[in-house]
Amino acid sequence: MHTFEQLYRPPSGVDESLRPLLERLHKRLTFRPVDAPALRSAIIGVLEFLASPSGRTDANCRAVDLFLTQDEAWDGDELPESFVEILADMSGALHDTISASDIAANFESTPEQLLERARRL
């Protein structure tokens, strides 16, 4: 399993505020046994940032997508399926949020759509 430092290689233009949010998410993803309320909170924290006016940028959305694509900590059978579904969508079409918003919306993968789903966990 990779450390956060090995995984977090943000592209230029990524807001510095994103790093601690992703670091917290990674910590929750690797914590065993899974603490579902803490994991839910970490997912919501990332998505609230991405849904905010200052956080909703192409660079930030792409950084989260790329990070989760590379982080295998959530890709297993130890997390509840409802969490895996949201994380999979965060690493699937979230990168399209700004450049191809219709695609992200079609896959229910805009920050706002994902945040709504995460709050229902």
* Span 58-109, pLDDT tens digits: 999 999 999 998 877 777 678 899 999 999 999 988 888 887 788 878 788 8
Q: Tell me the pLDDT of the chain averaged across its residues.
A: 90
For residues 55-87, b (16+ Cβ closer than 10 Å) or e, as one string? bbbeebbbbbbbbbbebebbeeeebeeebeebb
pTM for the model: 0.91
Q: Quick one: pLDDT at residue 92?
A: 87
Q: Where are the domains of the chain?
A: 18-119
Q: In 10 A of CB 36, how many CB atoms?
A: 14
110 vs 72, which has greater pLDDT?
110
